[in-house]
Amino acid sequence: MSWVNAVVQGILLGGLYALVAAGLSLVFGVMRIVNLAHGVLAVLAAFGAYVLGDALGLHPFLALLVVVPVMAAVGYGLQRGLLNRALGGGELAPLLVTFGLAIVLQNALLEAFSADSRRLDVGALGTASIRLGDGLTVGVFPLLAAVVGVLVIAAIGQFLARTATGRAMRATSDDRDAAALMGIDGRHLYGVATAIALGTVAIAGVFLGARSTFDPAAGGVTLIFAFEAVVIGGLGSLWGTLLGGVVLGVAQALGAAVDPAYGVLAGHLVFLVVLATRPRGLLPSAVTA
């Protein structure tokens, strides 16, 4: 396998990681919450699409029309009902609450769907590819996943920069008490942020579930890759998250090119090197505060 090919595949994989991590980055940027249930929520969305496909024969992309709004509503309710309360309990409370939520969700999924691996079937799209040159072929589906990742991050960025609600989110992220004096209701705004985060993680879950197999325990590794992308890029910076995802994806692809067993390890090593040398990430706080 040529190095160029590995880099290209890695960039595409990075786009998918960025798609997964976008919601994690947004929630951290706005509320300083590390949502440890983020990975399981992606898996939950994948199971949602799976059930819709199984029962109604819906294509996974059509299922998104249902799964994304449902997950967004779940996100709003989760924030208003649970996380906003946890925020009042110090820095550790949201971490513990989301950790507990991850365990509960994972076991509920296990109870409902067993530990069997599943995969979302996207039909011919899953195997279609484009030939770019000698020995360089990209799959249409990985390309689509990467493009969607970039679009989602760009859309969140535009939302934060140009809409009244987005500005209010940045203001609240800077100083919640001062934002309250501008008439901004932080509880509602946090609900909207988590709704957006879960809406995007639903898209990510469906792409992950169509790219490879998943089971109720897949949330852990999903969270780790997303978290690494966020930290490499710089906590709370959206474009940093995209960069972090790409760095992670390329590292994994290059590692795998040396030996398939080294892929994940290479990603972790790059993460550790960035953490040791640039602890604030490659692009600290660029878009959000």
| Site for other proteins, rule CB under 8 A | 164, 167-168, 170-171, 173-175, 177-186, 285, 288-289
Closest approach of other proteins to the CB of residue 170, in Å: 6
Closest approach of other proteins to the CB of residue 206, in Å: 32
Nearer to other proteins by C-beta: 119 or 170?
170
Nearer to other proteins by C-beta: 74 or 184?
184
CA 245-75-22 angle, 5° bins: 10
Nearer to other proteins by C-beta: 193 or 246?
193
Nearer to other proteins by C-beta: 115 or 164?
164
CA distance 12 to 4: 13
Closest approach of other proteins to the CB of residue 189, in Å: 9
CA distance 208 to 190: 26
In sequence order, which ranges of the chain are alpha helices (DSSP H)? 3-31, 38-56, 60-78, 84-87, 92-113, 140-162, 164-174, 176-180, 186-211, 219-233, 238-258, 263-277
Closest approach of other proteins to the CB of residue 178, in Å: 4
Nearer to other proteins by C-beta: 167 or 278?
167
Closest approach of other proteins to the CB of residue 164, in Å: 4
Closest to 140 in 3D by CA, of 156, 153, 117, 124: 124
CA distance 229 to 248: 6
